[in-house]
Amino acid sequence: MPFLGQDWRSPGWRWVKTEDGWKRCEPFSPALEDGNNQLKDIGHTVIITGDDEDEAIYSTEDCEFAAKKRKKDHCTNNTECFYREKWIYVHKESTRERHGYCTLGEAFNRLDFSSAIQDIRRFNYVVKLLQLIAKSQLTSLSGAAQKNYFNILDKIVRKVKEDQYNPRLIKDLLQDLSSTLCILIRGVGKSVLVGNINIWICRLETILLWQQQLKNLQMNKQVNNGLTLIDLPLHMLRNILHRLSDGWDVITLGQVTPTLYMLSEDRQLWKKLCQYHFAEKQFCRHLVPSEGGHIDWKLMYFALQKYYPIKEQYGDTLHFCRHCSILFWKDTGHPCTASDPDTCLMPVSPQHFIDLFKF
């Protein structure tokens, strides 16, 4: 298989999936290679003249050193230059073939979350993952992973401010992150906090600024002379509400018009939501009867939500190949060595992603 390198103990070459199949790619961009080749083509010495009095002579070794430094600086500013494959091998112990182990920070850097937040199918998944990391795994990230984490968070906030897409989800993320940072900063010295304390204080101030900006966020009014949501018949509006899996989304949609509010208060709608997310044994422990003696399913939903997690739905998730132990986005794929790769795939929830890197 082309995935294997010349040395069977090596992790293999880097491969990119194209329309013509898998092709090997170099770790650096062609522009950098061309610049390096130009330096190599120059003779033994290069004379760089500035003023009339100053003249510097550099040897070929100095030019090669400068080229290597330029490559390093370029790849520091553009992390994706190193990780074009967009997948990562998950190994938890050292073997003869692989030394060391895979960390959460390494996986976070390698799986291209910057591009994933631009895809509406993956946006909620990435935000939920960042929220779980903020709650319990923030101190386990390396310095580079922390920088990548807050860069992605900055892109998410800017996207929400521009598109007004799901601001409630981002507000919850920022609230959990600010609470965690306050605890870590107050307890500095008692916990492992990678980086200078002043950097974390600046990050906390940035988060508080983002929270204020989202609090003052004004939704843009859509100017459209065509068919709108309120023009749809009642049975279609009812079907739309019944397809929502989050109770807060139902309440938000019910605030648009009086008709939608009436439909959002339907007992059968909230009963189906409770039956979808929770088991019958959980109902018996937290019954919320109404004044008429019937069960108030709306209050029941939010009461159960305090004690039990609700089911999560995502348009697209990360997948784990049980045969190759590789974590990847499904549409990007990976060079699987199994005879039937589809039977080896397993969708990975955000919590499962965190659990993969717990030792």
Residues 174, 154, single domain; the answer is yes
Q: Flag whether 55 is in a domain.
A: no
Q: What is the DSSP string of 70-138?
A: HHHHHHHH-GGGT--S-EEE---S--SS--S---HHHHHHHS-HHHHTTSHHHHHHHHHHHHHIIIIIG
Q: Is the domain of 118 the same as that of 201?
A: yes
Q: Are residues 257 and 300 in the same domain?
A: yes
pLDDT tens profile 76-91: 444 443 456 678 888 7
> Could you tell me if residue 285 is inside a domain?
yes
Q: Determine the residue type at 45.
A: T
Looking at the domain assignment, is residue 356 inside a domain?
no
253 and 323 part of one domain: no
Considering the domain boundaries, does residue 83 fall inside one? no
295 found inside a domain: yes
Domain boundary among 199, 216, 233: 216
The token duo for 20 is: 């013509």
Looking at residue 222, what is its pLDDT?
65
Looking only at the bridges linking them, the beta strands covering 345-348 and 15-18 are: unpaired
- What letter would DSSP give residue 311? P
Do 183 and 114 lie in one domain? The reply is yes
Q: CA 232 to CA 244: how far, in whole Å?
A: 17
Q: What angle do CA 352, 354, 357 make, to 5 degrees?
A: 110
Q: Is residue 3 part of a domain?
A: no
Nearest-angstrom CA–CA distance, 300 and 286: 7
What 8-state DSSP symbol labels residue 359?
-
The answer to whether the beta carbons of residues 210 and 157 sit under 8 Å apart is yes
- Whether the pLDDT of residue 317 is over 70: the answer is yes
In a domain, 11, yes or no: no
Same domain, 158 and 194: yes
Residue 2 contacts residue 11 (beta carbons within 8 Å)? no
Most confident of 12-21, 120-129, 137-146, 302-311: 120-129
What is the C-alpha to C-alpha distance for residues 316 and 348, in angstroms, rounded to an integer?
10
Q: What pLDDT was estimated at residue 100? A: 55
**Where in the sequence is the domain holding 285, given as residue range(s)?**
246-307
| pLDDT tens-place string over residues 81-126 | 345 667 888 876 666 655 556 788 888 888 888 888 888 888 999 9
Question: Which contiguous run of DSSP H or E holds residue 56?
Answer: strand 55-59
Contact 25, 15 (CB under 8 A): yes
Supply the mean pLDDT for the chain: 76
Confidence of residue 140 (pLDDT cuts 50, 70, 90): confident
> Is residue 321 within 8 Å of 295, Cβ to Cβ?
no
Regarding whether 300 and 337 lie in a shared domain, the answer is no
Structural domain total, the chain: 3
pLDDT mean over 183-202? 78
Are 325 and 296 in a shared domain? no
Give the residue with greater pLDDT, 134 vs 166: 134
Let me know whether 163 and 266 are in one domain. no
Last residue of a domain, one of 177, 198, 216: 216
pLDDT confidence tier of residue 198, bands split at 50, 70 and 90? confident
